[in-house]
Amino acid sequence: MAERLWALGVILLAACATPPKASGGGDPPHSDTKPSAAAPALPATPGTPDLGEHGPLGNAGRSPARSPDDAQLRQDLEDYGYDSKDFKPVPDRWRVPSPAWYRYSSYAAANEPAADSPYMIGSPLNPYRQNVRKGDYTVLGQNTFFQFQLLSDTLLEYRDLPTPSAISTARPGTQDFFGSGKQYFFQQNIALTFELFHGNTAFKPPDYLIRVTPVFNVTYLDLQENNAVNIDVREGTTRSDGHVALQEAFIEKHLVDLSPNYDFLSVIVGIQPFVTDFRGFVFIDNNMGARLVANWDNNRSQANLALFTLLEKNTNSELNSFEWRDQYVFVANYFRQDFIWFGYTAQLSFHWNHDEGDPQVDENGFPVRPAVIGTASQHTIDAVYLGWAGDGHIGRLNITHEYFFVFGEDDDNPIAGRPVDIMAQMFFVELSVDFDWYRLRGSFFWASGDDDPGDGDGTGFDGILDNPNFAGGAASYWIRQSLRLFGVGLNQRLSVYPNLRSNKIQGEANFVNPGLFFLTAGVDAELMQELRTSLNFSYLAFDTTATLEPFANQNDISSDIGFEITLLAQYRPLLTQNVQFFLGLSALFPGEGFEDIYETDSVQFSLFLQMVLIY
């Protein structure tokens, strides 16, 4: 009891000794000052050197804050009744010096500073510690930050595709319509991202953000047949190409907060990335547009209103060019988190695709609009997509599902040879369950086909610009590769639809197509912390072959495309996204329908190795 009374007396004495404020009252000036209130130093461990004080942790760069006038600060403190010796000015609240502390002081005494010390000064090239170049410290004032990212994406690919031997075959004496399909492909992308943003982003969205991402691309393709790398057979069987693109160039402005929890309304204008559905079945792109973004109800509800006026794509890199294309895409979607079940997000969406189909020849001399099939006349497409989707988990069961219905008009479809009324649908569902280090997964995809190409109805489903993520995604042979057929693609690279269009990035959507069934069973496994794998077994079949038979001038084409095995492995040696290696291997065992079209029962395969480095 005596000790408690003594402590209480000391506290009261200290309170009475506190100097009164001047008559002006109020808090002391300069909110960027703080009491020194330094605790007494602890006795040093014998043999421990005097480490002193570090500057700011990491690589802080030069401070943009102006140091206060010490004499004026001292006078202001005296005016408020404070002793200036009790305060220390801190002009930059981000660059606060840290004590030189090491976890193992005995080790630090005899050696260099311990490698596992959390208070180590970084370097400009170290992205793993605080760095002014990645937005940890301000570059202007106390609320404006800058981020720089360098990304290198290197792709090596070897594949076997049915390749037409053309009029002038590269191998004399061969007369088959389809020649040797062995192909080698190399692609290198270097992306530089510059981002400037302003705001107290630890607690709320930035007030504004400006981002620019130029991409430098080099591609090389080696085939064994002429007339595939270029329309001129004299160009041979190889092609090398380079391209510079602008994949991001936008400004985002925070308009207003809708609640004290920082629900907000923002606008984004410029070349920007956008995915309209959970798995990328309808529209996923980096392109020119304006988007209004909102969230409310503690971020449980989100919505987008977006209008894109599309840029033309470069044929070989598939990146943006600097030409306009007469195509407009309007999107409105709404997401609701924890809809009915906790952890399940529901989505409603509306898409409008208006493509005027202005004539276009690609960089290799091939006409892509209109497609060189059927009537081959310029035509305009107006298509409206209505979608309902969901993603998340219901208890232990993980679920993703999407349903889209599209309607509209194609005023002169080249395969039908007449205007068609669009009316098609797509359905996808994936279910999975987690067991410790692995996940068992099954999925079903269906896109309706057109069972009568001449009746004036387009009932074959096609997306706007898809890049689907299921059944192994980019590793799947069917999704990754484009199987060419009479000047168009039976399917397109990084697409799932058998849509018979010239190509995905420059051609127009085609709703007179055979449709598709795609059934998959797979397992995702985390074999090590550094290694993740995905193994998939799939069966593919056309929904109908009524479009293919007159198109290929063949009767009784089977709907059986074949059976596919896909392996995708991701290796992250540093357990971060900064260094990643991807290995993709897929084999398609042809069914009767594939044999009918491409005159081969040989196993088709795709192998790629990709390295992604990020600073």
Q: Is residue 439 part of a domain?
A: yes
Q: pLDDT value at position 170?
A: 56
Closest CA to 51 of 107, 108, 100, 103: 100
**Structural contact between residues 350 and 384, judged by C-beta atoms closer than 8 angstroms:** yes
Looking at residue 52, what is its pLDDT? 52
Q: Which of 122, 140, 158 is at the close of a domain?
A: 140
Side chain identity at residue 584, one-letter code: G
Beta strands in 127-168 (DSSP E): 134-140, 144-160
Q: Is residue 15 part of a domain?
A: no
Q: How far is CA 205 from CA 265, 340, 573, in A?
A: 10, 28, 33
User: 95 falls in which pLDDT band (50, 70, 90)?
Assistant: confident
Cβ pair 413, 510 in contact under 8 A: yes
**Is residue 188 domain-shared with residue 135, that is, in the same domain?**
no
169 in the same domain as 78: no
Please check whether residues 112 and 164 belong to one and the same domain. Answer: no
Percent over 70 (pLDDT), the chain: 84
**Is cis: bond before 370, omega within 30 of 0?**
yes
What mean pLDDT is reported for the chain?
86
Residue 167 confidence (pLDDT):
55
Higher pLDDT, 85 or 404: 404
**Pair 105, 252 in one domain:** no
Check whether residue 150 and residue 80 sit in a common domain: no
Are residues 84 and 101 part of one domain? yes
Q: Is residue 6 part of a domain?
A: no
Choose one of 80, 106, 140: the last residue of a domain.
140
For residue 359, give the nearest of 550, 508, 188 by alpha carbon: 508
In 3-state terms, what secondary structure has residue 593?
helix
Q: What is the pLDDT of residue 124?
A: 81
Give the per-residue pLDDT at 453. Answer: 93
Q: Is residue 13 part of a domain?
A: no
Same domain for 460 and 367? yes
Question: Which pLDDT belongs to residue 229?
Answer: 83
Picking from 422, 432, 424, 423, the residue whose alpha carbon sits closest to that of residue 401 is 432
Tokens (6 digits) for 116: 């596992």
- Nearest-5° angle of CA 142, CA 120, CA 31? 25
Q: What's the pLDDT tens digit per position in 179-231?
A: 678 899 999 999 999 999 998 876 778 999 999 999 999 999 998 877 778 88
3-state SS, residue 262: coil
Q: How many domains does the chain have?
A: 2
Please tell me whether residue 575 adopts helix, strand or coil conformation.
coil
Confidence of residue 114 (pLDDT cuts 50, 70, 90): very low
β partners of residue 562: 540, 590
Is residue 117 over pLDDT 90?
no
- Given this model, what pLDDT does residue 120 score? 64
The dihedral built from the CA positions of residue 594, 597, 603 and 604, taken in this order, carries a sign that is negative
How confident is residue 127, by pLDDT bands cut at 50, 70 and 90? Answer: confident
Rounded average pLDDT over 509-514: 96
Using the predicted structure, report yes or no on whether residue 567 has a pLDDT greater than 80: yes
pTM: 0.85
Examine residue 11 and state whether it is found in any structural domain, yes or no.
no
Q: In the predicted model, what is the mean pLDDT of residues 531-535?
A: 97
Domain of 478?
143-614
- Residues 187 and 235 both lie in one domain: yes
Tell whether 161 and 95 lie within a shared domain. no
Classify residue 81 by its DSSP letter.
T
Please compute the mean of the pLDDT values over residues 573-587 and round it to a whole number.
Answer: 95
CA 424, 428, 431 angle in degrees (round to 5)?
165
The SS3 of residue 477 is helix
Domain check: are 230 and 272 in the same one? yes
CATH number for the domain spanning 475: value is 2.40.160.100
Tell me: do 161 and 276 sit in the same domain: yes
- Cα-trace Rg, the chain: 31
Label residue 60 by pLDDT band (50, 70, 90). Answer: confident
Predicted local confidence at residue 118, as pLDDT: 55
109, 125, 140 - which closes a domain: 140
Residue pLDDT, tens place only, 305-322: 999 999 999 999 999 999
Distances in Å between the alpha carbon of 612 and those of 151, 201, 443, 572?
7, 28, 28, 10
Whether the pLDDT of residue 37 is over 80: the answer is: no
- Is 414 inside a domain boundary? yes
Residue 8 lies in a domain: no
What is the percentage of the chain residues whose pLDDT exceeds 90?
A: 65
- pLDDT class of 111 with cuts at 50, 70, 90: low
- Confidence label for 593 from pLDDT (cuts 50, 70 and 90): very high
Residue 539 sits in the same domain as residue 606: yes
Q: Which of 271, 533, 276, 275 is nearest to 387 (CA)?
A: 276
Residues 377-386 have a mean pLDDT of 96
Of the listed ranges 109-113, 251-255, 358-362, 535-539, the one predicted with least confidence? 109-113
14 domain-assigned: no
